[in-house]
Amino acid sequence: MLESFSNHEQFYEERASRKEDFAVGLAFVFPEMIFLFILTDPYPQNAHSNPTLKFLHENFYVLPVVCLIVNLLIVFAFTQKRVRIAREALEGTLVDIKPRYEKGILTKVHPEDVNIGKPILLNFDGERARGDILFLKGARVAKVEKEEYTWTMPVDNPRDDGYGIREVSGTSTRTVTTLSHEGITYVGGDFGAQKEDTLDALVEFFSSNVRETRVRCMKTLVVHPGVDEEA
């Protein structure tokens, strides 16, 4: 049912990439250099009694390169398994699984990743927990409304005697969509659909009561335009 939406190839291409690993290694160079500067600079060159500190002081200009190389070796060592699995998956080492969600829909994964992410449920029968993911197929859009809400946010509040915290508030507008699916009413955010459309979507469960089930739209897969009788 969800096989055509599986993005396992893109998922493993991203996991096989070393771009983020290089960025992590590079990001640590600056704080490391600050630490080494504090450690070595306060002492004049001829006052170093410690040979290691003296060497660092005299060769400070090459330390960024050394730090970067060491960082990359450490990061690559910790991510070696991830990259190996990803490359094997891209070469065709895959098994079929029941749909799961991990940065997208996965219906094929490497044998070592069969429990990755969260299972995608086809219904919410039985026990439900916040964060469960459900596939709604053919849900009808019963209502789409714009809702104004008030928000508050803590911010720094500079004072003569130091810093404090104060709250700022404002109003914004959000889209609220009501869906009807198999006799259950789902209320969520913006699904990118209009009233009377039918859609296939992934939603995340928040809470429920006798009237409705609150969800968050994770991904709208397909929208079939409908006819709004009130239009």
**Cβ-based neighbours of 107, under 8 Å, separated by 6 or more:** 2, 3, 6, 8, 96, 97, 98, 99
What is the chain's alpha carbon radius of gyration, rounded to the nearest angstrom? 27
Q: How far apart are CA 4 and CA 110, in angstroms?
A: 18
Q: What is the pTM of this model?
A: 0.70
Q: How far apart are CA 72 and CA 165, in angstroms?
A: 39
pLDDT score, position 227: 66
Q: How far apart are CA 87 and CA 110, in angstroms?
A: 10
**What pLDDT tens digit does each residue of the chain (231 aa) get?**
788 889 899 999 988 888 888 888 888 888 887 777 776 665 555 555 667 667 766 777 777 888 888 888 888 888 889 999 999 999 999 999 999 999 889 999 999 999 999 999 876 666 778 889 999 999 999 999 998 989 888 887 766 666 677 788 899 999 999 999 988 899 999 999 999 999 999 999 988 888 888 999 999 999 998 765 554
pLDDT score, position 220: 92
Number of H helices, E strands in the chain: 5, 8
